[in-house]
A and B are shown apart, each in its own frame.
Chain A
Amino acid sequence: MAPFHFLMRHLSNRELSSWFFLAPVILIHMLVVAIPSISSLALCFTDWNGFGKINFVGFDNFIELFDDRVFKKAIIHNLIWTALFLTIPIVFALMAAFLLTGIRRFQMFYRFVFFFPYILASIVNCLIWKYLFHPIHGLTSFFNSIGWESLATSPLTTKETSLYAVAFVDGWHFWGFLVVIYITAMYQVDEDLYEAADIEGASKWQKFKYVTFPSIRPMFLFSFLIIIIWSVPAFDYVYILTSGGPAYSSEVVANFMYFEAFRNMNVGYASAVGALMFIYVFFVLGFFWSLRKLGWEI
């Protein structure tokens, strides 16, 4: 009973009722997310194959990982992936959102068009682009027929372009989401600021630079944060379009982890990859938390 009395003494009624209502969610989260996550993290110190005996191997999995050429390649690809998503979709989404806020007619139609790929299942998006890129009956075949031989090969099947081609398809589906969140943020900007800018004779670009962008900065930084975090487990588009190939040219960490766990049956080794992914996300969150402590609006 002691903890109960302690809580009663130190928490207000309001706080107690908050915890009371949060309790079911916390319980479900513990059972479904936290405990399985922690136990799977514990597996990174074992050589478990997913079925049999579990042997403790200390840091062997991590030592082996840092010597694994495919893992190193996958990390570099994840960094490239993150850099691509932090630039191209963001720039396009900002431009589209800003232009859309200036139009009155058919705005909902355009918003729907941009957002539509985001609501499609990844397998559908991937199949569309696989067919478009197909060298025999896709767009690439058309380019071949008109003599543009440099575009006659599917970018998914050459090692120089495969990662960028997969990122392009994923970015094509993702950028509409950014457009919608930026538009929502832009609608919150005080109209008086635009009126003041108009009186001062500001151009469209100056209005964007000095009014719109600073006003949506929290949302912009939030999009930065989610892109960095979501880039870590990037998997479905890579798996469906290239399986990480050809020759590991589009291999990413999550796909590597999947193959280790479910093809090579190295569950302990795959858990070590998962642990490193967790640590990376933890540091990213810590970094953004520090910015917040420094007074940044995030």
Chain B
Amino acid sequence: MIIKNIFYSIIASSILFSAAVNAKTNVIWWEYSEEGSGLNDALVKYIQDGFNQSQDSVNLEIIFKEGEYNEATRTALLAGVGPDIVSSSGATYVAKYASGGFLMSLEEVAEKNGWKDKILPWAYNTGVFGGELYSLPKNYESMLYFYNKTLFEENGWSLPTNLGEYEELAEKVQAKGMYPFAYGSSGWPMTHEHLAGNYLNTVAGPDSVYKAMIGEKEWTAPEFVEALELLKKHMMAGYWSGSLENYYAVGWDDFSAQFHNREAAMLQIGSWGFEIATALEGDEWGWAPLPILTNDGGEPNYQLSVGGTLSVNAASKNKNAAAEVLNWIVSNRETIVEFTKSRNFGAWLMPLYYEASDFGDDVDPRLRDYLVDFSERTGNGHYGYTTWTYYPPEAGTHIWKDMEVVWAGDITVKDFLAEQQKLWEKARKNDELLPIAAR
């Protein structure tokens, strides 16, 4: 009899529990899956559970999609369904989704909740299309220069501040039987655009890049030719993994190992490279902004980049609840700091207005220095442009895919840039340009 009663009680409480859950508004969010690194669990812990525990009316569920989640999202949106919260890889996707009418304007929510005072302006503007906000930046990135500090001290090397010092250092490193930089494109050929962006922003300079992007300068201008000629020269000299062929054959695990095993002295990579640097054992590591590669050097800049966006599906039946989730994220800086700290600041570093006190004493001072320096430098106007945040789709593919053609010697840098110019003109004509952080 007792067992029977317990059984009935369990059934009754299950019914009551599910009724209580069902009374909530369900919000579905599709996110790309990164099971191996533990990012999925962290996202559930900090965002899904954090939000669900903060209120009683909305139940957030994050569903992780394997493989190309952008394609799954696009197909769902075209079919008039899909998740309530739409995640994408960047502004290129948001531009297309917004122009197709698949996203809800977040303008009203943003204004009501003062998002402009919480999100860094350059990052906020990457989600504005036709004067309306359509996406939130999920993560910000920049290109950095990591180096093996112990190795530098042992050999009496110092960080370069101009082109002459940069080339001299590379020669010294090579003379020691090491590669100047650990890097390669196997599995992710888009690394070519990292290098191209680095040289465009440190040789031609961000002012010229900005002018070319807004159409006040041609991409065939001598400073761009010089920048990419220099990149080609350094690539052929084996700066990255010893040779062009090695660079093509080396992937993430390989170049991480090169940096860890003293096969390479430095690593030019995005801020996600902190993950590699912090895993260095035995030696000390350091970081610096990319040096300006002209004869006189100059004030270094950080290339701006937004990695990943969040929007609300225009076809969602729970648009307000979905917007409430986004507002909770923007308004909970402490949770975001905890979350990104758990990922070594390599993911979910939302471009919010942080204060030094946000990070606490347990954060690696090198990481904190970078975050503070990034804010200060970019605040003073020393910023450049990453290709994957500011280039329209075709020019963005061309910059890395056809760079190989230049390196193979099949076309000249000038011909390559002439093609870039054509693709930018085409994008401008078709109104496909992305929002560009003004100078």
Which B residue sits closest to A157, measured CB to CB? B248
A266 touches which of B189, B245, B394 (Cβ 8 Å)? B394
Chain B, residues 60-80, CB within 8 Å of chain A (1/0): the string is 000000001001001001100
Q: Which residues of B contact A264 (CB under 8 A)?
A: 393-394, 397
Q: Which residues of A contact B172 (CB under 8 A)?
A: none
Contact B71 A154 (CB under 8 A): no
Q: Which residues of A contact B189 (CB under 8 A)?
A: 243, 245
B245 touches which of A49, A154, A262 (Cβ 8 Å)? A154
Q: Which residues of B contact A157 (CB under 8 A)?
A: 244-246, 248-249
Contact B250 A263 (CB under 8 A): no
The reply to whether the CB of A136 lies closer than 8 angstroms to some CB of chain B is: yes
The reply to whether the CB of B254 lies closer than 8 angstroms to some CB of chain A is: yes
Interface centre among B68, B249, B393, B397 (most CB of A within 10 A): B249
Which A residue sits closest to B74, measured CB to CB? A50
Stretch at the interface among A127-135, A190-198, A226-234, A279-287: A127-135
The reply to whether the CB of B97 lies closer than 8 angstroms to some CB of chain A is: yes
The reply to whether the CB of A156 lies closer than 8 angstroms to some CB of chain B is: yes
Q: How far is the CB of A103 from chain B (nearest CB, A)?
A: 40
Beta-carbon contacts under 8 Å, A237-295 to B: 243-249, 259, 262-266
The B interface is mostly helix, strand or loop, or mixed, namely: helix
Stretch at the interface among B108-116, B127-135, B360-368, B399-407: B399-407
Contact B245 A247 (CB under 8 A): no
Contact B245 A135 (CB under 8 A): yes
**Alpha-carbon distance A49/B102, docked complex (angstroms):** 14
Contact A246 B404 (CB under 8 A): yes
**Alpha-carbon distance A51/B86, docked complex (angstroms):** 15
Which B residue sits closest to A249, measured CB to CB? B408
Chain B, residues 351-367, CB within 8 Å of chain A (1/0): the string is 00000000000000000
- For chain A, give the interface size range: 20 to 34
Q: Which residues of A contact B36 (CB under 8 A)?
A: none
Q: How far is the CB of A40 from chain B (nearest CB, A)?
A: 13
The reply to whether the CB of B158 lies closer than 8 angstroms to some CB of chain A is: no
The reply to whether the CB of B410 lies closer than 8 angstroms to some CB of chain A is: yes
Q: Which residues of A contact B77 (CB under 8 A)?
A: 51
The reply to whether the CB of B96 lies closer than 8 angstroms to some CB of chain A is: yes
Q: How far is the CB of B255 from chain A (nearest CB, A)?
A: 10
Q: How far is the CB of B422 from chain A (nearest CB, A)?
A: 12
| Given A51-B102, A133-B249, 17 additional A-B pairs, CB 8 A | A51-B100, A52-B96, A52-B99, A52-B101, A134-B254, A135-B249, A154-B248, A154-B249, A157-B249, A245-B248, A245-B401, A246-B244, A247-B407, A247-B410, A248-B401, A262-B71, A265-B394
A-B CB contact pairs (8 Å), 30 listed: A50-B78, A51-B77, A51-B78, A51-B96, A51-B100, A52-B101, A134-B249, A134-B254, A135-B246, A135-B249, A136-B254, A154-B248, A154-B249, A156-B248, A156-B249, A157-B244, A157-B246, A157-B249, A243-B189, A245-B189, A245-B404, A246-B407, A247-B405, A247-B408, A247-B410, A249-B408, A259-B401, A262-B68, A262-B71, A264-B397
Closest CB pairs A-B (n = 6) = A51-B100, A247-B408, A157-B248, A51-B96, A247-B404, A157-B245
Contact surface of B with A, Cβ cutoff 8 Å: 68, 71, 74, 77-78, 92, 96-97, 99-102, 186, 189, 244-246, 248-250, 254, 393-394, 397, 401, 404-405, 407-408, 410
